[in-house]
Amino acid sequence: MSEKETIVVIGAGVIGLSTALRLQSHLKNTQQILLIARDFPNTTSLNYASPWAGAHYRPIPGSSPQATREGSQAKATYAHFKALSAQDPSSGVQALEAIEHLENPPAAYLDEKIVRECYAHLDGFRLLGSEECPEGVKWGARYVSFVVNPPVYCAWLLRAFVLAGGVTREYTVIDPAEAFWLAEGRKVRTVVNCSGMGFGDARSFIIRGQTCLVRNPCSQTVTRQNTDGSWSFCVPRPLSGGTIIGGTKQPRDYDPNPSLETREKVLANAAKWFPFTPESGGKFDVIRDIVGRRPAREGGMRIEAEKVGEGRVVVHAYGAGGRGYELSWGVAGDVLGLMVGDGLIGERASL
């Protein structure tokens, strides 16, 4: 009888969980997956970004190779969220109307072809006429998006992985090479690195984000770009999880403390711009201020297979920045494609 093989996935953020679950359906009958992470959905840490997210699905138009790659990954995620929200609302994913209002739109938003390629897959997508936009808004759109309750969704992904036979281990890995030795006697030839920051990758950096979680309900997810280039958003969390109001994007800022000044600014903007119910009266019932560190990378995510020794491969998938949820299932599909191409996993989904 041949020795059983273990595929090790490092990282239990939304990228790691989605990838582990996607790979699980393509395992050969001689394979299993071990998910190793420092943090799991039942824990909270500034450096474990996924539970702190908004999170909602919002495309970002562009024509660079990175934008094209992320556009493809986002479309795959949209299709997955659409199916999942219909099949299992307990996942914490819900379809919801999205609105975008931009006061100073970047050039890509003014290119009809780029916008069409970026937004055409969205149900109900249409550009807003000037008469439909608030004063000062030069570009607007409306479409069906998906909002996510991150703590619920991450726990749902982990539960689905374990119920399908996945094994987990809480462990702090300091180098992907270490993971080849952590399967307790089972052969490991593939490690999938969904670590977020990438173990010393010089191109990786954190983006500090501060948001505010409030109890006030909201019927839409709205994103607004201000004249100065800053962004504001509100994201209702499904299953009565409150509403996230944000937020900031501060590259390489390691301050772990929430700023009261930032809270006051984002709430004041929310009172002006977002469709909270009339009884809110411009006031917010604050649950907590949130500070998290998004694991970003110059040039976008690293997604590639690296041979690290005789018969050993590390498949890298890290550095999503603030787009982990939007890109998650596309990234999982890309990792699967790399592994199928190298014969590291089954080509067809297991029954």
Question: 302 among the known binding-site residues?
Answer: no
Backbone angles phi, psi at 318, to 5 degrees: -150, 165
Question: 294 among the known binding-site residues?
Answer: yes
* Cβ–Cβ < 8 Å for 196, 11: yes
261 Cβ contact partners less than 8 Å away, ≥ 6 residues apart: none
Instruction: Please give the Cα distance from 304 to 288 (Å, whole number).
Output: 38
| Crossing angle of the two packed helices 150-163 and 14-24, in degrees rounded to 10 | 30
Backbone angles phi, psi at 275, to 5 degrees: -85, 65
DSSP H or E stretch at residue 288: strand 286-297
Concatenating the DSSP letter of every residue in 46-105 gives TT--GGG---B-------SHHHHHHHHHHHHHHHHHHHHHHH-GGGSEEEEEEEEEESS-
Instruction: Please give the Cα distance from 62 to 137 (Å, whole number).
Output: 20
Q: List residues forming the annotated binding site for D-dopa.
A: 294, 322
Known binding residues are 173, 294, 322
The binding site for FAD comprises: 173
